[in-house]
Chains A and B, each alone.
Chain A
Amino acid sequence: MPESTSRVLTESPSLAPLFVKAALTSRGRGGALPDTVLRREAVQVDRDHLLAYQRICRFTGTDVLPPTYPHVLGFPLQVSLMSGRDFPLPLPGLVHLENRIVVHRQLTADDRLDISVHAEQLASHPKGQVVDLVTEVDVAGQRVWEGRSTYLRRGRGGDDAAYREKAPALPDRPPAAVLRLPEDLGRRYAAVSGDVNPIHLHPLTAKAMGFPRAIAHGMWTYARTLAALGPKAVEPGESSVWFGKPVLLPNTVEVVVDPDASPLVAGLRSRKDASKVFLTLTLS
């Protein structure tokens, strides 16, 4: 059993070397989840970085942190934890299945964020194994933001796996917006988020990982859909997202919204084939 540890990192880990390390050490993993909690304290928001993030996801460039932004700040801790040798699932090939974000109060670039990440709920799933990476953000000792990222390791599924809440049906409505996603979107978002997973970067690196073309980052599609919902998406509240089919780049996708549903339901689907759903989210 791994020891229970809490480690404070003084700076955000660089992601590319972690991805390489995780790839090189991907074999022979297993066992239980480590008890590790990785922390960064009093993280100061880099306003240029925030604006770059707001621009690429199309949030307004104000001082308010988009609800998905703390995830980006915590993501290097997630990768750091998952690339550790004591993490039971190999990082390459992990699929981001779901994400849940709770914003307890609106955060601004002036807040100093204490960010901690740990893993929990390693469980079997009909398509393999899932694990939750939990990111928690405190300001002055008060919990202000929580994120739960669920990743799937494809493999032999547990027959008895009773899986949690399913995605609500995407409303059958005309598009609220059409988004044209350029071929270089993955590289551009990687430059901002630091998520340099090769499946997002280039058709060739994506092919090596089993995808016909580069695919958009799930967290970008999530953030971009929230941004399309307007100011209510940056208010305190809760949102859950279920990722469906990968968005191959370039692509033209439709934002669909059911504003009358409670909680609000929105999603992204293919412009060509409305039955192809890329993501579904709820916002309350």
Chain B
Amino acid sequence: MATRSTPRSTQQSSSAPRRAAVIGGNRIPFARANSTYSHASNQDMLTATLDGLVARFGLAGEQVGEVVAGAVLKHSRDFNLTRESVLGSSLAPTTPAYDVQQACGTGLEAAILVANKIALGQIDSGIAGGTDTASDAPIALNEGLRQTLLAANRAKTPVQRAKALTGLRPNQLVPSIPQNVEPRTGLSMGEHMAQTAKQWGVSREAQDEIAAASHQHLAAAYDRGFFDDLLTPFKGLTRDQNLRPDSSVEKLAKLNPVFGKGPDATMTAGNSTPLTDGAAAVLLGSDEWAAERGLPVLAHVVDAQTAAVDYVTGHEGLLMAPAYALPKLLERQGMKLQDFDLVEIHEAFASTVLCTLAAWESEEFCRDRLGLDAPIGELDRSKLNVNGSSLAAGHPFAATGGRIVASLAKALHEKGSGARGLISVCAAGGQGVMAILEAA
């Protein structure tokens, strides 16, 4: 059972909105890019994930309030990706759906949106999720070719059209392939992170320790059957493909750095998240809705907060926004970081986790950047990512939020009623999404 030193309101006043319940989740095992799911589309993976969730909770043919999901790497033909996936699933075709996109924060933001509508009484149930494929990625026309074809399309006479088409050039056949770089800086996320890691003096050893722990924790969670009711096999995979149960600091130490330059580069393929394909979804509802169906309530969504930083001018590191979201959450909830029983910090890179923790421990950072009188302080590492995180499981961008919400809700439930957990997800564009769950 969770015990806490800080007083805070655990009872809702009668005027406060109801809290959305996390009932359960489902995901497909995550696959390394260009491997087992190479030919699976975002819609295939999201549909399979929804069908697994529906089967687990007996929702075949039923209408839920809303399904909210998204993908980061999304083809233009998938403008209605979530609705199309719902239509392909065994949910009632009368289930409304919409897409959201907030880079790697997509899945968590989707869960917050569904939870908020449930809290407001606008819906009684909903599914939040996300899917991403780095293998079946959309490839766009070369920009020059696109402009030429659009000009030809605008032409009113055959002569105008012919003239527009004289703009065609052989080099326009080279397509535009999506790249993992920030549009405004041209730097990859890894390069951005390498700058921040250097700034915070994060060591190679500390990063490798985070990575090894991620693999060991995830493997242990599989071994004790933790994922048995959180996962549906897909395309022959029954576990996350990136998982290396025998990973160790010694093995990780042998890898060469891939991000950053010079002898003090610390970020390797082992302590950075690989490109991955997969999908995840979470079932949320009001307590009444769950009770009517005899469904369990694992946890409630307590609060959420987003933040963004100015990374373009170099004022702050690209993936540091969650550090800024936390004080607002703590203040609103009357909590300290140390009050949480479990903390999930998405491992975009091991160094992301370490820089965020270092920032919260820094008196200077907390004073100058967060405007706090005292540092947020140290986190007991035994509460961190206890069932593994993205370094081991992989990170199909929009799917990560759903993976974390479902896993944390279950882990909190195992701890006992009242246990609280924090979720932190950094995202491209210098953004961060956070949420608090409390075991039912």
Contacts and interface: CB of A to CB of B under 8 A. Distances in A.
B233 A60 contact: no
Interface of A: 47-48, 51, 60-64, 109-110, 230-231, 235
Contacts of B233: 63, 110
Interface in B307-358: none
6 contacts: A60-B47, A61-B40, A63-B234, A110-B233, A231-B88, A231-B90
B257 to A, nearest CB: 36
Contacts, number: 37
Contacts of A62: 44, 47-48, 51, 234
A230 B87 contact: yes
A122 B48 CA distance: 42
B89 interface: yes
Nearest to A60: B88
B43 interface: yes
Nearest to A45: B236
B235 A109 contact: yes
A117 B198 CA distance: 67
Interface residues of B, number: 17
Interface of B: 39-41, 43-44, 47-48, 51, 87-90, 93, 233-236
Given A60-B88, A61-B39, A231-B88, A47 B44 contact: no
Given A47-B235, A60-B43, 15 more contacts: A48-B39, A51-B39, A60-B47, A60-B48, A61-B40, A61-B41, A61-B43, A62-B44, A62-B234, A64-B51, A110-B233, A110-B236, A230-B87, A231-B87, A231-B88
B236 A109 contact: yes
**Residue in A51, A60, A62, A110 whose Cβ sees the most chain B Cβ within 10 Å:** A62
A65 to B, nearest CB: 13
Given A61-B39, A230-B88, A231-B89, A47 B236 contact: yes
A60 B91 CA distance: 14
Contacts of B43: 60-61
B40 A230 contact: no
B88 to A, nearest CB: 4
Contacts of A48: 39
Nearest to B36: A47
A63 B40 CA distance: 11
Contact of A51 (B40, B88, B93): B40
